[in-house]
Amino acid sequence: MFRKVSLALAATLMLSGAAWADPIEGNWKTQAGDTAAISGGDS
């Protein structure tokens, strides 16, 4: 019983990690030295 609860809790924490991640929006430098602007999907 404890094993199943522990596995369910671990899976929930791993799957919710993406919700807490920082967005990738902004200006990024490419390997060639150019600047790439990344904007959100609804802009």
The position carrying tokens 């609860």 is: 5
Q: Can you give the pLDDT at residue 15?
A: 81
Predicted pLDDT at 42: 67
Contact 25, 38 (CB under 8 A): yes
Using one digit for the tens of pLDDT, what is the confidence trace for 1-43? 999 999 999 998 888 777 777 778 899 999 999 999 998 776 5
- State how far the alpha carbon of 9 is from the alpha carbons of 12, 13, 16, 29, in Å: 5, 6, 11, 38
What is the per-residue pLDDT for 23? 78
Mapped to the 3 state alphabet, what secondary structure does the chain carry?
CHHHHHHHHHHHHHHHHHHHCCCCCEEEECCCCCEEEECCCCC
Q: What's the confidence (pLDDT) of residue 20?
A: 74
The domain locations on the chain are 1-38
Q: What is the pLDDT of residue 24?
A: 85
